[in-house]
Structure 1
Amino acid sequence: MADEFRPHPGIPRNVVHFLDQGSLLALDAALRALDAAGLGSGAGDARRFAVADGLPYRAPGQGAMFVPYGHLVARTLGIRGPVVTVAGAEASGMAAIVQAARIIARGDADVVIAGAAQALQRPLLEHLQALSGERALPFDRGHAGMVAAEGAAYVIIEAEAHARQRGAAVLARVAAAAETFDPLAEPTAVADANEAGRLMQAILGAAGYLQNQVDLLVSCADGRPALDVADGFGALRTFGRHAYYADVTATAGSLGQLLAAGGPAAVAMAAEAMRRGQVWPIAGLETPVEGLELAFVREVKAAKLDCVLVTSLGTGGVGAGVLLTAP
């Protein structure tokens, strides 16, 4: 319940009452991610910490943010390393994770707080109304729209040497991260299956992995027919005769479409699934879209997850994703 929400105690009391909903969600989630990683205040050199933040989804004509959430996080924590803010509609949070992986790979920081927050203001809800349905049914023939949700999700991406030195509990490794753009996609439409498949292939290629090495695909399908078809048939084309090797699940049937925060939430759930050795099902899936022959997860199941592919497609043609491997 909303009235049961208690902000993270690390948010200064003289600040919390001045934050809007999105800012509060972002700061709360970032602080909880640091806690989960065992990185409290003063845990390291502030110059070696960074933030990669995805801009929230905005309706056409809706006013832009004055201060991005990533800047708020960095100011509150006293971070002095790079602070990167990226756009990409629903894929912006995942694009931020891609940027975080690159920051670590370049050696520009030891620790990056990466993710996004999404609040639902009235202009955005009105804009999304035409794309919304009563229930989110990813990949199901009855899919008729998404169910928008608000929230925030941040993950901690850390240089391996730094994590080992402090004895961190590593949930997964980022084997590869990639992003694509489709210039032919309309500003209010997602890319097609060819582009979705190109994104998946780019991620696998960057990691040097084959299709039959993937144990689980966490899809960005959310109940919008165009997105379900794009990511579903993109996976079918990418995996080909190995389509039944990798399990396929999605988060939007359970969490709703978290928009900018959807990608980071999927990454967090994928890492947790790897830790537990357990895969969650696609909520609401009864009869898959015709011709979409994938190994959909229908109920909670135990699984050894050594390699997980997570995708995110945003309106306007943006695509981003990561490949996680077991630590």
Structure 2
Amino acid sequence: MTADTRSHRSGRVVVTGRGVVSPLGLSWPETWAGLLDGRSGVARLTGIETEDLPVRIGGEIKGFDPEAYLPRKIARRMDRSVQLALVAADEAVRDAGLEITPELAPRVAVVMGSASGPTRSSVAAQEALAQRGPRAVSPFFFATSSVDAAAGEVSLRFGLQGSSTCMTTACATGSTCLGEAMRMIRLGVADVVIAGGVDDSITRLDINGAAMSQALSRRNDEPEKACRPFDRARDGFVMSAGAGVVVLESEEHARSRGAAVHAELAGYGATTDAYHVTAPHPDGLPAQRAAHQALADAGLTPADVDYVNAHGTSTPKNDTTEAKVIRSVFGDRAESIPVSSIKSMTGHMLGAAGAVEAITAVEAIKTGQVPPTINCDDPEDRGLNFVPHKAQTHEVDVAVSNSFGFGGHNAVLVLRRWRPAP
């Protein structure tokens, strides 16, 4: 076997908890309901001044009051992105029914990533320094402004004493964190990992910077129609905020405490394009290799896959390349597999995207409902089933979730229905 097809599995890893904060809702049930309804969370931005910006739309978190979830003293020291991560982690731990005892704490790890880190705090601190002087900068800034802030705060929140790690692979961050967490459990260095991703980069600096790079959609007058994955009229992605967190456990640990299992995280593949700082490899060859790695890791083949949760950013090059990847990996079956991008509704939550999309794949397995790709009115590839406009009913035993990031990062996850060994 080659390195790309060799499996090193040493145990099964299961998903027992899920938590999400997104532009569609402040919990996973709210977000899932919005996805099935085909509702867009993209709107005119209200939290920042946008009149002089070329892009004035995005996916903000609506109605979020951190003090409804966190003590005021703790909430005040955190960047908004870290607050979102804690709320999603709380939901995931509750969903898992997980009790962190002193005996368990050393065996629970955290892998929490962010593409941008606490950018809101950094922008605010710089503005305070420039406008009001040195004493206006918060004494918490230095300790809480690094990209690993969410990982550290989640560990503090639950008293976790396993390793606490932050990983960053641009737009693939959430998937990378889940995949590497799975590997940690297989290696036996943790029994439980709280894993996921978060970002809230809705600042004037970030919006303008992404707009100037020509990455963002400029459909300012039709925000709900701006994110158009795989549609010929797409003109860029939509910046959004969000957090997605899962509780992963070894099969043995989940069984020992009688946990309800949502699905199995069965495979992970990761490669790098080494092609361009922003553009994907034109033929998607490294991304194809990541998909084949993930399937081999799961002991599966393309013939076993029932649903693809696409990266689907709505950028011209990404979507064209991803369609090529799907056709190459699945061959003659490509046109019979539903392929959908929830970014059409959530926008691009950056570091959170892959984690929320993996959770979506889990829910498709549990419910047999595949969320739609809205705004896909004129698909570039007319043969693929992009689940246009409305959710579809499909029996899903195995789902693939793609994540591809700037810098050439590729991460692919394989999730499957949980069938415990006899």
Query: Normalising by the residue count of structure 2, what TM-score does the alignment of the two structures yield?
Result: 0.72
% identical aligned pairs: 30
User: What is the CA–CA distance in structure 1 between the aligned matches of 2:373 and 2:90, rounded to whole Å?
Assistant: 29
- The alpha-carbon deviation at position 43 of structure 1 amounts to 8.4
Amino acid at match of 2:256: Q
Residues 191 and 318 in structure 1, CA contact (< 8 A), matched pair in contact too: no
User: What is the CA–CA distance in structure 2 between the aligned matches of 1:296 and 1:142, rounded to whole Å?
Assistant: 15
In 2 relative to 1, CA 38–9 (structure 1 residues): closer, same or farther, beyond 3 Å? Answer: farther
Q: Pairwise mapping of residues 134-283 of structure 1 onto structure 2 (< 5 A)?
A: 134=219, 135-184=226-275, 186-192=276-282, 193-283=284-374
What SS does the aligned partner of 2:335 have?
Answer: coil
User: What is the CA–CA distance in structure 1 between the aligned matches of 2:105 and 2:69, rounded to whole Å?
Assistant: 17
For structure 1, which runs of at least 5 residues remain unmatched after alignment?
A: none
Query: Residue 387 of structure 2 aligns with which residue?
Result: 297
Question: Structure 1 stretches (4+) deviating beyond 3 angstroms?
Answer: 6-13, 40-44
User: What is the CA–CA distance in structure 2 between the aligned matches of 1:112 and 1:266, rounded to whole Å?
Assistant: 18
User: What is the CA–CA distance in structure 2 between the aligned matches of 1:155 and 1:213, rounded to whole Å?
Assistant: 24
Query: Residue 125 of structure 1 aligns with which residue?
Result: 207
Query: Residue 27 of structure 1 aligns with which residue?
Result: 86
RMSD of Structure 2 on Structure 1 (CA)? 2.1
Q: Of 40, 48, 53, which aligns to 2:107?
A: 48
Give the stretch that moved more between structures: 166-175 or 67-76: 67-76
User: What is the CA–CA distance in structure 2 between the aligned matches of 1:8 and 1:171, rounded to whole Å?
Assistant: 30
Give the stretch that moved more between structures: 200-209 or 252-261: 200-209
Query: Residue 96 of structure 1 aligns with which residue?
Result: 177
Q: Deviations over 1:66-90 (max 9, x none)?
A: 6431111112221100112111111
- The alpha-carbon deviation at position 245 of structure 1 amounts to 2.9
User: What is the CA–CA distance in structure 2 between the aligned matches of 1:215 and 1:42, rounded to whole Å?
Assistant: 39
User: What is the CA–CA distance in structure 1 between the aligned matches of 2:101 and 2:341, rounded to whole Å?
Assistant: 37
Larger radius of gyration: 2
Query: Residue 309 of structure 1 aligns with which residue?
Result: 400
What SS does the aligned partner of 1:268 have?
Answer: helix
- The alpha-carbon deviation at position 204 of structure 1 amounts to 1.4
What SS does the aligned partner of 2:171 have?
Answer: helix
Query: Residue 36 of structure 1 aligns with which residue?
Result: 95
User: What is the CA–CA distance in structure 1 between the aligned matches of 2:362 and 2:68, rounded to whole Å?
Assistant: 25
In 2 relative to 1, CA 270–14 (structure 1 residues): closer, same or farther, beyond 3 Å? Answer: same
Query: Residue 151 of structure 2 aligns with which residue?
Result: 70
For structure 2, which runs of at least 5 residues remain unmatched after alignment?
A: 1-59, 124-144, 220-225
Query: Normalising by the residue count of structure 1, what TM-score does the alignment of the two structures yield?
Result: 0.92
User: What is the CA–CA distance in structure 1 between the aligned matches of 2:378 and 2:171, rounded to whole Å?
Assistant: 26
Please tell me whether residue 17 in structure 1 is matched to residue 76 in structure 2: yes
What SS does the aligned partner of 2:101 have?
Answer: coil
Amino acid at match of 1:32: E
In 2 relative to 1, CA 43–235 (structure 1 residues): closer, same or farther, beyond 3 Å? Answer: farther
- The alpha-carbon deviation at position 44 of structure 1 amounts to 5.8
Give the stretch that moved more between structures: 274-283 or 196-205: 196-205
- The alpha-carbon deviation at position 65 of structure 1 amounts to 2.0
Query: Residue 318 of structure 1 aligns with which residue?
Result: 409
Amino acid at match of 1:47: P
- The alpha-carbon deviation at position 2 of structure 1 amounts to 5.4
Q: Deviations over 1:239-271 (max 9, x none)?
A: 111112321111100110111110001011111
User: What is the CA–CA distance in structure 2 between the aligned matches of 1:13 and 1:160, rounded to whole Å?
Assistant: 37
User: What is the CA–CA distance in structure 1 between the aligned matches of 2:63 and 2:378, rounded to whole Å?
Assistant: 37
